[in-house]
Amino acid sequence: MTASVGTAASPVKSVAEFAAAPAEYQEAVRKIVRSHSVNELYGAQVFDEAAIALAPTPHAKWLTCRIAMEEYGHHVRFRALGEEIGIPAAQLVPGEKRPLSIFAFPLKSWEQFCVIKLLADLAEILQVEDLLECSFHPLRNLARMTMPEERFHAQFGRDFCTEICATPEGRAAVQDAIFRYFPLLPSFFGASHSKNNATFRRLGIKQRSNEAMRADYLARARALVEGELELRLPEVGEAV
Owning domain of residue 201: 15-228
The answer as to whether 10 is a domain residue is no
The answer as to whether 105 is a domain residue is yes
The answer as to whether 118 is a domain residue is yes
Residue 92: give its domain's CATH number: 1.20.1260.10
Q: If you average pLDDT over every residue of the chain, what do you get? A: 93
Query: DSSP 3-state assignment of 132?
Result: coil
The answer as to whether 216 is a domain residue is yes
User: Is 15 a residue whose pLDDT tops 90?
Assistant: yes
For residue 231, CA distances in Å to 57, 138, 221 come to 25, 40, 11
pLDDT (average), residues 129-150: 97
Instruction: Tell me how far apart the alpha carbons of residues 191 and 201 are, in angstroms, rounded to a whole number.
Output: 15
The answer as to whether 129 is a domain residue is yes
Q: What is the pLDDT of residues 163-220, one digit of tens each?
A: 999 999 999 999 999 999 999 999 999 999 999 999 999 999 999 999 999 999 999 9
The answer as to whether 8 is a domain residue is no
The answer as to whether 239 is a domain residue is no
Q: How many domains is the chain built from?
A: 1
The answer as to whether 51 is a domain residue is yes
User: Is 2 a residue whose pLDDT tops 70?
Assistant: no
pLDDT of residue 8: 45
pLDDT of residue 110: 98
